[in-house]
Structure 1
Amino acid sequence: MYNIGIDLGGTNIKVGVVNDDFKIVGKSNIKTDLPRPAEEIADSIAKGVELACKEAGIDVKDINSIGIGTPGVADRNTGVVLYSCNLGFNNTDLGGLLKHRLGTDIYVENDANVAAYGEVLGGAAKGYKDVVVITLGTGVGGGIIIGGKIYTGFNFCGAELGHVVIEYNGRQCNCGRKGCFEAYSSATALITATKKAMEEDKDSAMWNIAGSIDKVDGKTAFDAMRAGDKSGKAVVDEYLNYLGCGLTNVVNTFQPEMLLIGGGICKEGDYLTKPLEEYIKRESYCINPERSTVLGICKLGNDAGIVGAANLYRLKD
């Protein structure tokens, strides 16, 4: 049996045909080309489905269901995107638009949630039932799996873990609050902190590593730290302390079997995970060390959203 998973982003529409072993057997990628009406986006999604099916060597009629991971808030079973500022959706019946075009069951869910679900089904958290996934990118995303099912809250707005405050009246966050986890632990926050440290230390190795302040990325401070640069180490230490604080809050709130982190920063490997493991071990509330949360790194990367979305039919109420 085949199901379609769609990662609907602000830049690209990524479509995958997924088999029962949670493997992607056909793909397509189409530009989202925003801003434009939902009807036109639905046309592009339908085209992407046709292309992915062609690559997989199957007919669209062979598809059991289609799942979509979208930015914003969505009602999984009705297919309505309640709100997505990135896409310009407001109570948009995306499921209905695609049902009309493709004639199969459509399920729509938040993109971070489906990525977390994908990791549970076929990724780093396979075999676990209670999992939290934190993605470190432009912002800090969250996905919560409880008892093998996606947790969304009664109004589908749950799992906005990036907007839990870790420093009262702290840095301004784009959401309007101050001191949010996202304002300290996103890749954006790391880059901002790196640039600030470079401005304060003109002799820092970070200048040579980056080439210019406009080319700073999430690796710059880590590379400088490994080169013995004090300013680079200070940036990394502060970043890891904030990240550890936020992750410990997640552990203390949910006590998941596994806590996964994803995003480009995870390429730092042990330089990232080892200090975080020590921080969480030291700060988390756990009365039985043998039954403590396992920290891991996401395995599926950009495919997690496709795998998770393709299997949303399993969660049908």
Structure 2
Amino acid sequence: MYYIGIDLGGTNVAAGIVDGGGRLLGQFSHPTPKGAQAVAEAVAHAAQEAARRAGVDPAGAQSVGLASPGSIDPAGGIVEHAFNLGLDHVPLAGMVSDLLGLPAVLENDANAAALGEFVAGAGKEARSLVAVTLGTGVGAGAVLDGKLYTGFNYAGMEAGHMVIHRGGRPCTCGRLGCWEAYASATGLISSTRAAMAAHPDSALWTFAPTPEAVDGKTAFDAARTGDPAARAVVEDYVGDLACGIVNLVNLFQPEVLCVGGGVSKQGEALLAPIRAILDREEFTRDGARRTRLCPARLGNDAGIIGAALVPVYR
């Protein structure tokens, strides 16, 4: 028994053939086109090519799962708004179903990534998991008691838009002080650039000769040299990231909370100080059973695997 999983991104359409245990049997990706029909056809092509590479017939799959960014309506299979894909109120699940002759379901990409980690990654032996992805924004998803949590209107787990600094930085959602505005790679880059402007002699300039060259590694790389401005950026970033993580642990008490995305590649330089903050601030810090904080394991495969298995765990 196997399933087709599709991870739709602004750059690539990635497809995979996945078995019931979350094992990838074959995969394929190619550039994402613009426009509804073009995206649907690209999905169908990627699915067929992934099946060829897996040595299976795509028509024999149980279903197709689509992981999409933006605002979606999983019940209707509609991508309501995904502007980086050129989609606006598009019944994508139905279009893909017609092209492949298989039932198709739609899910938010962060939710799908969390499900992938739960089934085949950091939460493989757990009953509950929260996954946080640090990218352009902050994505989050949860699997609780073995079921994907989406909220009654499928908009649950927008953790990036909980406020951690009331009246703070403006967020793309319209609020001020959202976690995403501080804990995303975008927020980290903004903080790094501000520190560079304030400290023209900082080692930050060694790792990023211009503000445009700053990325999510710059502050961590400079902090390792002992540069005080860089260390302050990293400490503030870790504190803001930890604030949201403590909130999620206190709300959901998952067995596992995993952190993925580009910034997570800092490994223990990022996670060890967050664990120290959890030891001080987590509500159940004195309990015998506590959430395990760890890196996500599946990288870019999480969305494909999770999308494929949405029909099983929804």
User: Is TM-score (shorter-chain normalized) higher than 0.5?
Assistant: yes
- Equivalent in the alignment of 2:102: 104
- Equivalent in the alignment of 1:314: 312
Q: Number of residue pairs matched?
A: 314
Is residue 154 of structure 1 aligned with residue 147 of structure 2? no
- Equivalent in the alignment of 1:29: 29
- Equivalent in the alignment of 1:144: 142
Q: Is the 8 A contact 1:73 1:109 kept in 2?
A: no
Q: State the Cα distance separating 1:289 from its structure 2 match.
A: 2.6
Partner SS, residue 86 of structure 1: helix
Is residue 131 of structure 1 aligned with residue 129 of structure 2? yes
**Letter of the structure 1 residue corresponding to residue 220 of structure 2:** F
Q: State the Cα distance separating 1:288 from its structure 2 match.
A: 4.2
- Equivalent in the alignment of 2:63: 65
1:184-206 CA distances to partner (integer Å, 9 max, x unpaired)? 11011111111111111111111
**Letter of the structure 2 residue corresponding to residue 8 of structure 1:** L
Equivalent in 301, 304, 313 of residue 302 of structure 2: 304
Q: State the Cα distance separating 1:287 from its structure 2 match.
A: 6.2
Partner SS, residue 252 of structure 1: helix
Is residue 7 of structure 1 aligned with residue 35 of structure 2? no
- Equivalent in the alignment of 1:171: 169
Question: Gaps (5+ residues) in structure 2?
Answer: none
**Letter of the structure 2 residue corresponding to residue 134 of structure 1:** V
- Equivalent in the alignment of 2:233: 235
Whole-angstrom CA distance in 1 between matches of 2:248 and 2:235: 20
Identity %: 46
Is residue 40 of structure 1 aligned with residue 38 of structure 2? yes
Q: Is the 8 A contact 1:73 1:156 kept in 2?
A: no
Partner SS, residue 279 of structure 2: helix
Whole-angstrom CA distance in 1 between matches of 2:79 and 2:92: 7
Equivalent in 229, 254, 258 of residue 256 of structure 2: 258
Assess, with a 3 A threshold, how the Cα gap between structure 1 residues 135 and 287 changes in structure 2: closer, same or farther.
closer
Point out the more displaced range, 302-311 or 71-80. Answer: 71-80
Q: For 1:265-304, what aligned pairs fall within 5 Å after superposition?
A: 265-286=263-284, 288-304=286-302
Partner SS, residue 301 of structure 1: coil
- Equivalent in the alignment of 1:20: 20
Aligned CA RMSD, in angstroms, stands at 1.4
Whole-angstrom CA distance in 1 between matches of 2:126 and 2:88: 34
Point out the more displaced range, 236-245 or 55-64. Answer: 55-64
1:123-161 CA distances to partner (integer Å, 9 max, x unpaired)? 011121221111111001110111111111111111100
Partner SS, residue 136 of structure 2: coil
Q: State the Cα distance separating 1:59 from its structure 2 match.
A: 1.5
Q: State the Cα distance separating 1:271 from its structure 2 match.
A: 0.8
Q: Is the 8 A contact 2:33 2:42 kept in 1?
A: no
Partner SS, residue 10 of structure 2: coil
Whole-angstrom CA distance in 1 between matches of 2:74 and 2:86: 18
Q: Is the 8 A contact 2:259 2:294 kept in 1?
A: yes
Q: State the Cα distance separating 1:77 from its structure 2 match.
A: 4.9
Whole-angstrom CA distance in 2 between matches of 1:148 and 1:25: 23
Whole-angstrom CA distance in 1 between matches of 2:90 and 2:249: 35
- Equivalent in the alignment of 2:93: 95
1:16-49 CA distances to partner (integer Å, 9 max, x unpaired)? 1112332212111121122x2x122111111111
Point out the more displaced range, 298-307 or 98-107. Answer: 98-107
Q: State the Cα distance separating 1:224 from its structure 2 match.
A: 1.1
**Letter of the structure 1 residue corresponding to residue 101 of structure 2:** G
**Letter of the structure 1 residue corresponding to residue 13 of structure 2:** I
- Equivalent in the alignment of 2:179: 181
**Letter of the structure 2 residue corresponding to residue 12 of structure 1:** N
Q: Is the 8 A contact 2:278 2:285 kept in 1?
A: no
Partner SS, residue 84 of structure 2: coil
Question: Gaps (5+ residues) in structure 1?
Answer: none
Q: Is the 8 A contact 2:146 2:313 kept in 1?
A: no
Q: State the Cα distance separating 1:183 from its structure 2 match.
A: 0.5
Q: TM-score, normalised by structure 1?
A: 0.95
Q: State the Cα distance separating 1:212 from its structure 2 match.
A: 2.5
